[in-house]
Amino acid sequence: MSAVALRMSMSRWLNARVIKPLLFMFALLPFGWLLFGAMAGQLGPNPAEALVRSSGDWTLRFLCVALAVTPLRVSLGLTPLARLRRMLGLFVFFYAVLHFLAYSWLDKGFEPAEITVDIAKRPFILVGFVSLLLLIMLAATSWNGAVRRLGALWWQRLHRAVYLVAGLALLHFFWMRAAKNNVAEVAVYAAILGALLGWRVLRRWRGR
């Protein structure tokens, strides 16, 4: 099969109606696994830490996948990939909210005063919270009506904040892991996000 035929076949597959429901179900699998693990007592000796850490890990993973959509779409000529980007972005928001709720409930017992003090006192919590606020802004303007109200140009400029979110999320992850002298996984995410951002910068420099 030629490259053109393969691309056309993949495009037809990505355009199928079943793709979005399938993606939705697959994206919920980590949540289902965490929920089952919590209910079945299979999250190890410290289930609270496992929930907080795992939900944060999945936030970063979905962020990497969401940011990879445009480079893959352009590089491989798979235009239908664009229709999946919004859902992936909203799952980044979903797992980020889950991460914050797990921390707020399991670490701080939903005590607003304790959460506020912790955010102000610990820099890695602060940058994580700021990235969540930015994600709230992006999720709130992800619907088609927001594009019309803001205008396409301003909407695009606003949603470039996702790269700031990525930087803050990576810094949050680094500070958390550096305290335990465990930054190997941070380096992997940094390489992936750096490559995705580098692709954008190079493309912009070439005027594309």
pLDDT digits (tens, 9 = 90+) for 58-84: 999 999 999 999 999 999 889 999 999
Is the pTM of the predicted complex or chain greater than 0.85?
yes
Count: domains in the chain: 1
**Tens digits of per-residue pLDDT, 182-191?**
788 999 999 9
Q: Mean pLDDT, to the nearest integer, of 165-175?
A: 95
User: Looking at the predicted structure, is the pLDDT value of residue 177 above 60?
Assistant: yes
Q: What percent of the chain has pLDDT over 90?
A: 77
The SS3 assignment for 150 reads helix
Q: Are 79 and 12 in contact (CB under 8 A)?
A: no
Domain that holds residue 90: 3-205
Q: Which pLDDT does position 4 carry in this prediction? A: 76
Residue indicated by tokens 């919270």: 129
Amino acid 182: pLDDT: 78
Going by C-beta distance under 8 Å and a sequence separation of 6 or more, which residues neighbour residue 119?
125, 126, 129
% pLDDT > 70, the chain:
98
pLDDT of residue 71: 94
> CA-CA distance, 51 to 55, in Å (whole number)?
6
Distance (Å, whole) CA 143 – CA 31:
24
What would the pLDDT profile of 80-139 be if each residue is shown by its tens digit? 999 999 999 999 999 999 999 999 999 999 999 999 999 999 999 999 999 999 999 999
Asked whether residue 179 carries a pLDDT value surpassing 90, the answer given is no
Complete DSSP assignment for 85-123: HHHHHHHHHHHHHHHHHHIIIIITTT-HHHHHHHHHH-H
Residues 167 and 184: their CA atoms lie apart, in Å, by 17
What is the maximal distance between C-alpha atoms in the chain? 62
Q: How far apart are CA 96 and CA 19, in angstroms?
A: 24
CA distance 139 to 44: 33
Give kind and range of the element (H or E) at residue 132: helix 123-140
**Per-residue confidence (pLDDT) for residue 208, from 0 to 100:** 61
- Sort 5 into a burial class: Cβ within 10 Å, 0-12 / 13-18 / 19+: exposed
Residue 1 has pLDDT above 60, yes or no: no
Tell me the pLDDT band of 30, cut-offs 50, 70 and 90.
Answer: very high
